[in-house]
Every structure is written in structure tokens, then in C-alpha cells.
A and B are shown apart, each in its own frame.
Chain A
């Protein structure tokens, strides 16, 4: 094999040599465009890290100052070197590249930090027992979040069951039927509802049920109601956007075939936008599944499994995590470990929901390709 390739490569080498010779013979305009080699920024970075960062660290300064000083010196060094070698336009480009990358890295710090911390602390109890045991009768080690996982799933599913029809139909009304003052008012209040603090939604559910059942009432359904107060505006907003991008021509095409408006909406508009709606709804679920404050007020916490959302307190993952941390038993460690694992499970749930949203969007998308 090597024998077959060799002549060709040598030919190519010859060619590049010719080209190089040609380039050198060209007038100076072409030659003056000098460029730093691709490895230059990395070399400069390495040098700054060793000199500035290493120097400050060995001088006994903090790591924060070392990183900050390294970044500033690096930006300045890249700019100056590039300006001398490549000219001002290239230098500005390189400086802005450094700034943008730095901003990205700063934005990544909290995200990575949260995931690493939760993983490091949560993996200790991320075992089978956590998914099979509740906290009934557990005072120290052992136990798990089985009851809280079930509670979270039940309460969130109920919230979704209430919010999705209401949100979907509201969006259909706003896009297809609503005009004039009523629809403007609805749009306005949906916008206002998007900004409601979650604790207010919890207090609303608590106050509402206290009116009917007396103070001190707690049940899973109250939590679902509070969550759906938070979820409905998100569903309305995302569905509305999706319905708006369905081309008007498709509606007219259906009308022109003698299809009534309601059938057009049901069979043309909704199927065309179902991918976007489904992923929007899934993201709305992911948004409320981690809510703590309203569930703290409306649902409370319990140690055992309660599958009936209409009777008594239920455990949920966020509240379980919160209580395990603020009111641990003795010894403390098992409670803290379980709190971290609950947080980890919650993050995984949200991640799975986000992946599901992407998958749904891809599965339901109108098939355009395929000639």
C-alpha cells in the first residue's frame, strides 16, 4: 500500500514547493499578511499560566487572584503580540475571542459546580435501597426516597393533567378565535402569571383549601393545583408561539376544501404544530417538577408512602431534600446523604424530561425530506 501512495505524495510535495516559490516571488502585499501559527494562543496561554499563575501561587496568594490575573495578562499579551505581528484588525478579533470565551467559562462555573457537587455527594446513597425504601420507621441509616419519588410523580402528573388541557385550549382560543379586548386581557394576565413567585401560588392553594376544609388542611392535590397555577402560563405561551408559526395558507387550504374551522384546527393546525407543542409541554413539566416552596406549604412532608393525593400529606423530592437538610435526625450524616441523593434524582428527572422533549420534537416533526 505504501508503495502506491508514495509517488503521489512526493508529487504533491513538489507542487507545494512550487506554489511556495511562486508565493515568495509575488509582490510584497501578499507577503505582508503574516499570521500567528495556530498553536500560538495556546503557547501564550501556557506561558502566562506558568509565569503569572504559578508565580502568584508560589508567592502564597489565593487561587482566585491567580486565575483572575492570568486571564487579564493573557488577554493583554495576546492582543499585543497579535497587534505587532498581524496588525490591529486581527488583534481585535483575538481579543474579543478571549473575552467571549472567558464569559462562556464564567457562565459554566455554577453549572459544572452544581453537577459535580451533587454527583459527589449524592452518589453515596444512589443505591437500590433509595429507590425501594421509604422513611417509615427509619431513624438513622438506611431508608430512602421511594415515597418522595412517587409523591413527586403523582403530584406533577396531576398538575400536568389539569394544566395541559386548560393551557392548550387557551392558546387555541388566543390564536384562532380571540380578538379584541378579551383576548388582549387574557394575554396580559398570562404574562403576569408567568412572573408569579412560586410561593404565592402555594399560598393561593393553601388559602383556597383552607376556606373549604378549614385551616391546617394538607393534601397532594393542593400541591398539584399550586403547580398548575405556575404551569398554565408556560403551556399557554409555548403553545401560542407554536400555533402562530403554522402558515395561514394551510388554514386557507383547508377552508377552501369546505372544512369547517374547528376541524381545520383539530386536523390541520394542531397536527402541524404537535412537535413544538409536545416539547413545550414537556419543558413546562420539567420547570415545575423541582418547585419546593408551594409544596412546602400545601403538601408538607411525611415519612411513609401515600398514594392518595386527596388525603393527607405527601412526600415530594424537593421538600424531602429540604427537610432532610434543615431538620436532620441524629446522627446527621445519613440525612444529609439522602438530601443530596434526592437532589441528584431530581436533576436526573429534569434531564430525562428535557431529552424526552427533544425526542418528541424529532418524532412528531412533519416529514419534509424523502423525495
Chain B
């Protein structure tokens, strides 16, 4: 179920403003790819274009090629809603649905799409997803309680459970730990390591240590100045990127000698 992502000469625009310029990269299945770079350099924008989430913002559009296992996601007749079912996303701030219980939050993908299933099938899916998100033990006795009553780290894992319950091929994470404490962060990082056997994971992070800890590949985005588009400076194995990057800018950034 894990799939590769091929990106070729991708340009992303907000109206007439070009936010990301000319990105070309290949993301292999069953790997964790970290995207690092200074704020405003287009990492999140690029991430959101992988599941066509960025186009919910009026005026946003994409030029170039972005394919999932060879199938062009921006091809004619491709339904963005279908793309989002294949490519799940976890956001910066945990956002469980406040009107739903923990149980309903996990199967929200089915509930909201009015898909019916037998009770025992749903129970199984809930348990499997919560176990997958390392949350089962903590919440199994209060599945009917509202999801907003959990702690921040638990809520974020609930959101991961919700994302993997729809069984996507790719999981995108937009700074999933930036609102969490170190212990919850560690729990999420362990989880990412386990999840990569089943999913292709792309994670945006500002935390360089985190990128070094969890990812197999790292892409460095940079921006030349305000008003200029963000660019992918280089992408390589994480080990190489943090020890001997080929670009001077990358070395400056990962060693903290930036700007």
C-alpha cells in the first residue's frame, strides 16, 4: 500500500505570486522524508500540494508534475477528494472533532463519508488504528468520551489514528510535534518509525535533531529573500545531509550558522 512520489519541475502559486519554484524530487516508498528549511520557504506549501490541500485556499494552483506511483495527481479528471483519501495528513496543531467521541474521531473518515459497516468491523478498525497510533492502552476504557478531553500529545496521536484509519498510501505530517512537550514528541517519533513499514511518510519539521532522528532522507528548502519563491536546495540521505552536504547553504543551515 505504500507508494512512491515523483515530483518534476513543480511550481506552486498563490494567485500571481510564485511560492515554490521548480521542485524535482523522488520519494521512495516505506521511507521517512523530512523537509527542513527556514520559515516561509515553502515546505508546508509543498507538503500541502502533495494531497491537493493547498487548493482550498482561493487562487492557489500548481504547475508541473506530481505523481503517485506514476499516476499524475494533477491530471485531468483527477478528483482532489479522491487524492486526499490516498494521501493522509496530520496537522501542526492537534484538531480532533469536538462534537465526536474518541471512537467516532478514529472512524471519522467513514462516518463523515456516510460509509456503513458492521459494528464489529468498526470496532476492529478502531482498535487497529489506535494500536497503530500507540494510543489504545491509554483510551480503551473511555472510547465514548469526547476526543477534546485528551492531552495535547494524546490528541495528536488520535489525529494520527484518524489519518491511518482511512488506510492511505502516504502520510503527510506538517510539524506534528511543534505544539507538544518532549515526552509526547518522543512518543510520536517512535510512532513514525513504526509507521514507515506501512506508509510513505513526509514530515515537515523545524527541529533539526528531529529530522536527523526520524528520517531516512532529508530535503532542504531555502528562500533567497522576502517575495522570492522557495526552492529545494538539495535532497539526499539524512546521514549525508547532516555530515557532508554538497551545498554550502545546507551546511550553514544544519550547523546553525545561518543568515
Chain A residues with CB below 8 A from B114, complex form: 263
Inter-chain CA distance A83–B34, complex, in Å, is 68
Interface string of A350-371 (1 = CB under 8 A from B): 0000000000000000111111
Q: Cβ of B97: which chain A residues have Cβ within 8 Å of it?
A: 250, 253-254, 268, 272
CA separation between A70 and B97, bound complex, in Å? 58
Contact B95 A249 (CB under 8 A): yes
In the complex with contacts A249-B91, A253-B95, A253-B97, A259-B112 CB distance below 8 A: yes
Which residues of chain A come closer than 8 Å to B96, judged between CB atoms? 253
Contact string against A for B residues 196-223, beta-carbon threshold 8 Å, 1 for contact and 0 otherwise: 0000000000000000000000000000
Interface pair A258/B146, CB less than 8 Å apart:
no
Contact partners of B238 in chain A: CB under 8 A:
none
B98 adjacent to A256 (CB under 8 Å): no
Asked if A256 contacts B112 (CB within 8 A), the reply is no
Tell me how far the C-beta of B163 lies from the nearest C-beta in chain A, rounded to whole angstroms: 7
Min CB distance, B193 to chain A, in Å? 22
The digit string for B63-92, where 1 denotes a CB below 8 A from any CB of A, is: 000000000000000000110111011010
Whether B82 pairs with A258 at a CB distance below 8 angstroms is yes
Q: Tell me whether A272 and B98 are in contact (CB under 8 A).
A: yes
Whether the pair A268, B53 counts as a contact (CB closer than 8 A) is no
State the CA gap A256–B95 with chains docked (Å).
Answer: 12
Instruction: Report the Cα distance A87→B38, complex, angstroms.
Output: 56
For the complex formed, measure the closest distance between the CB of B122 and the CB atoms of chain A, giving whole angstroms.
Answer: 15
Complex Cα distance A368/B166, Å? 25
Which residues of A lie under 8 Å from residue B111 when comparing CB positions? 267
- On whether A263 and B98 interact (CB within 8 A), knowing A249-B91, A256-B51, the answer reads no
A:261-275 near B, CB below 8 Å = 263-264, 267-268, 271-272
Is B244 an interface position by the 8 A CB rule?
A: no
Task: Report the contact-size class of chain A (Cβ under 8 Å from the partner).
Answer: 20 to 34
B99 within 8 A of A: yes
Task: Among B82, B88, B145, B150, point to the contact of A256 (Cβ < 8 A).
Answer: B88
Q: Report yes or no: A253 in contact with B91, Cβ–Cβ below 8 A.
A: yes
B121: Cβ under 8 A from any A Cβ:
no
Chain B, range 146-203, C-beta contacts under 8 Å to A: 146, 148-150, 159, 162-163, 166
| Interface presence of A173 (CB below 8 A) | no
**Residue A247 at the B interface, CB < 8 A?**
yes
Please pick, from A179, A252, A257, A264, the residue contacting B162 in the complex, using a CB distance under 8 A: A257
Whether A366 and B146, one on each chain, are in contact in the complex, defined by CB atoms closer than 8 angstroms, is yes
Pair B113/A256 contact, Cβ less than 8 Å: no
Say whether B40 faces chain A, with CB atoms less than 8 Å apart. no
Return the contact of B166 from the options A258, A267, A272, A370 (Cβ within 8 A).
Answer: A258
Contact, CB under 8 Å: B148 / A368: yes
Chain B residues whose C-beta falls within 8 Å of the C-beta of A257 in the assembled complex: 84-85, 88, 108-109, 112, 162-163, 166
Q: Which residue of A lies closest to B58 (CB)?
A: A179
- State which residues 322-371 of A face B: CB under 8 Å: 366-371
Q: Identify which of A253, A255, A271 contacts B99 (C-beta below 8 A).
A: A271
Asked whether B93 is an interface residue with its Cβ less than 8 Å from the other chain, the reply is yes
Nearest A residue (CB) for B89: A256
How many Å lie between the Cα of A271 and that of B114 in the bound state? 15
Task: Let me know if B149 and A368 touch, CB within 8 A.
Answer: yes
* Cβ-defined contact, B84 with A258, below 8 A: yes
Set of chain A residues within 8 Å of B148, measured between Cβ atoms: 366-368
In the assembled complex, which residues on chain A have CB atoms less than 8 Å from the CB atom of B56? Answer: 251-252, 255
Q: Give the residues in chain A near B88, CB-CB below 8 Å.
A: 256-257
How long is the Cα–Cα vector from A354 to B95 in the complex, in angstroms? 33
Report how far A161 CA is from B162 CA in the complex, Å: 38
With A255-B84, A370-B145, A370-B149 as contacts: A264 and B95 at CB distance below 8 Å: no
CA distance A263 to B58 in the complex (A): 19
Task: Tell me whether B82 and A370 are in contact (CB under 8 A).
Answer: no
Shortest Cβ gap from B131 to chain A (Å): 19
Interface centre among A251, A267, A272, A368 (most CB of B within 10 A): A267
Check A260 for interface membership: any CB of B closer than 8 A: yes
Contacts of A251 in B (CB 8 A): 56
Cα A190 to Cα B153 with chains together (Å): 43
A258 contacts across to B, CB distance below 8 A: 81-82, 84-86, 109, 113, 166
From known contacts A368-B98, A368-B146, A370-B146, infer whether A263 and B113 are also in contact, taking CB-CB under 8 Å.
yes
The distance from the CB of A273 to the nearest CB of chain B, in whole angstroms, is 10
Q: Given A254-B108, A268-B112, decide whether A249 and B163 contact each other with a Cβ distance below 8 A.
A: no
Q: Which of A15-36 contact B (CB under 8 A)?
A: none
Nearest-CB residue, chain B, relative to A270: B99
Which residues of A220-259 are within 8 A (CB) of B? Answer: 247, 249-259
| Distance to closest chain B CB from A242 (angstroms) | 14
Structural contact, A267 and B112, CB atoms closer than 8 A: yes
Complex contacts, B163 vs chain A, CB 8 Å: 256-257
20 interchain pairs, CB-CB under 8 A: A247-B95, A250-B98, A252-B53, A252-B91, A252-B95, A254-B97, A255-B53, A256-B53, A257-B112, A258-B81, A258-B86, A258-B109, A263-B114, A267-B111, A267-B112, A268-B112, A368-B148, A369-B149, A370-B149, A371-B145
Which residues of A are interface residues toward B (Cβ below 8 A)?
179, 247, 249-260, 263-264, 267-268, 271-272, 366-371
Q: A253-B96, A256-B163, A260-B81 are in contact. List 8 more A-B contacts (CB 8 A).
A: A249-B93, A249-B95, A251-B56, A254-B97, A254-B108, A256-B51, A368-B146, A371-B150
**Top 5 A-B residue pairs of the complex, sorted by shortest distance between their CB atoms:** A258-B85, A256-B89, A366-B98, A249-B95, A257-B109
